[in-house]
Amino acid sequence: MDRIIIRGGRPLEGRLPISGAKNSALTLLPCALLTDEPLTLRNLPRLADVDSFGHLLNQLGVSTTIEGTRPEDFGRVMTMRATSLTATMAPYDIVRKMRASILVLGPILARAGEATVSLPGGCAIGNRPIDLHLKALEALGAKLEMSAGYVRAVAPGGRLPGGHVAFPIVSVGATENAVMAAVTASGRTTIENAAREPEIVDLCRCLTSMGARIDGIGTETLTIDGVKELHGATYAVMPDRIEAGSYACAVGITGGSLELAGARASEMRATVTALQEAGLDIEETRDGLKVTANRPLKPLTLSTAPYPGFATDMQAQFMAMLTLAQGSSVLTETIFENRYMHVPELARMGADIQVTGRSAVVRGVDGLNGAPVMATDLRASMSLIIAGLAARGETQVRRVYHLDRGYERLEEKLSAVGAEIERDGDG
């Protein structure tokens, strides 16, 4: 099993390209199910989750053609065509590996009038039930049946009528499923308390390029007038705001200065504000963001929240950076109930962190020491990389398949800007 080996203590300098957003790509891929014409996605990141979703689409009858397969290329161009669906079921073996598979439920239902998808289980960072997905589809007119770990959704008469969806809490995934199900409904759909994440905006823009009629994009109320059918389109995946924030934290903990090419400050304001409060200089450039470290790092008090609040996907990376801040920081996790599994691993490297319930107090230390550590989930694994970049000696990060789910060619990008980092297949 692969491991990543880091010899820390080197500041990062130069230009680092930001890849297409994982969380957006996994939302845009199922849009191909909504039309029999080709959908081409550009700037698609090379990630294990993207490949897995592509395999799922193939099983449903979607043909895929990939350009940009040269080793030196970042990102790819994928053209998908679902001339007809050969299946309407997403089986357990796929859904259990990748929770984003649930996002085929809405578009298959919209296209075929019925869909059967395995219920996903829990995951390392906590349970993420799909009850809001199901209630949204019921509000759109779907009839649901639960049996043997699967949910079957049927549109009476073969087409959803549309309806009024009012989410009791903000849910990104449920908003995405509801939007994709509603765009070809026979009537109007209103979604209240919709998620406002940039990835939701990206989805809506892609769908409108395919002929969907969506008002209120970027707000908490979406109004969708269903159209009879969508057409093909070519669309570029937005840059990954979580990847950009992760590399900014790496600059903060190591020192130096990076231009994050492609990053958009407008889509990551809460992250940019927190970085500035920690003492980093952030400058918008023609190509992206320039992040420059200052010493000493300042402690922070942060609480995760739905967009436009501080993203839960940035909590672990900030925690790693703040282990070297001058003073005590307090991080509170409000989204997931079990997202501090990186804490014991950071402690192995000398971090001083105390967790009480959903809050963690991070007392800054003078330095971290390299150690063998184990990744437990995607963002936790990146926190260990960030810590390793600043630690004295050698850090070995195991279970790096977590990283490969969400960070495109991480060691190559970091090596190019001064880090001493490599992948070893013998770990």
**What gap in Å lies between CA 250 and CA 257, rounded to an integer?**
10
- Alpha-carbon separation of residue 337 from 119, 123, 167, 278, 359 (angstroms): 20, 11, 20, 26, 10
* Closest to 37 measured CA to CA, from 264, 201, 210, 244: 210
Q: What strands, in cross-sheet order, belong to the sheet with 213-215?
A: 164-166, 188-192, 221-225, 213-215
Classify 329 as helix, strand or coil: strand
DSSP string, 8-77: ----EEEEEEPPBPHHHHHHHGGGGGG-SS-EEEEEE---HHHHHHHHHHHHTT-EEEEE--STT--SEE
Instruction: Find all residues with CB under 8 Å of 344, minimum gap 6, and list them.
Output: none
Parallel, antiparallel or unpaired: strands 76-81 and 63-67:
antiparallel
Active-site residue flag, 31: no
* CA end-to-end span of the chain: 5
CA 180/CA 276 separation, integer angstroms: 37
Name the active-site residue from 123, 204, 206, 249.
123
User: Cα-flanking dihedrals φ and ψ of residue 399, to 5°?
Assistant: 60, 50
* Residues 122, 95 contacting (CB under 8 angstroms): no
296 cis-preceded (ω within 30 degrees of 0)? yes
Cα–Cα separations (whole angstroms), residue 11 to 284, 290, 393: 21, 15, 14
Binding-site residues for UDP-N-acetyl-alpha-D-glucosamine sit at 99, 128-132, 313, 335
Element (H, E) at 209: helix 198-209
Burial of 356 (0-12, 13-18, 19+ CB in 10 A): exposed
Task: Give which of 66, 77, 75 is closest to 21, Cα–Cα.
Answer: 75
Question: Which helix (H) or strand (E) segment is 243 a member of?
Answer: helix 241-254
Q: How many angstroms separate the CA atoms of 288 and 325, rounded?
A: 26
Residues taking part in catalysis: 123
